[in-house]
A and B are shown apart, each in its own frame.
Chain A
Amino acid sequence: EAGVVQSPRYKIIEKKQPVAFWCNPISGHNTLYWYLQNLGQGPELLIRYENEEAVDDSQLPKDRFSAERLKGVDSTLKIQPAELGDSAVYLCASSLRGEESYEQYFGPGTRLTVT
Chain B
Amino acid sequence: TQLLEQSPQFLSIQEGENLTVYCNSSSVFSSLQWYRQEPGEGPVLLVTVVTGGEVKKLKRLTFQFGDARKDSSLHITAAQPGDTGLYLCAGAAGRFNKFYFGSGTKLNVKP
Most chain B CB inside 10 Å of its own CB: which residue of A4, A100, A104, A108: A104
Q: Number of A-B pairs whose CB atoms are under 8 Å?
A: 54
Contacts of A104 in B (CB 8 A): 33, 45, 99
Tell me whether chain A's interface is mostly helix, strand or loop, or mixed.
loop
Q: How far is the CB of A85 from chain B (nearest CB, A)?
A: 18
| Known contacts A41-B104, A42-B102; A108 and B42 CB within 8 A of each other | yes
Distance in angstroms from B80 CB to nearest chain A CB is 23
- CB pair B31 A48 closer than 8 Å: no
Residues of B near A93 (CB, < 8 A) are 42
Output the least CB separation between B39 and chain A (Å).
Answer: 11
Using known A-B contacts A42-B88, A42-B102, determine if residue A101 contacts B44 with beta carbons closer than 8 Å. Answer: no
Q: Chain B residues near A91: list those with CB within 8 A.
A: 42-43
**Contact between A42 and B96, CB atoms less than 8 A apart:** no
Contact of B101 with A by CB under 8 A = yes
Any B CB within 8 A of the CB of A103: yes
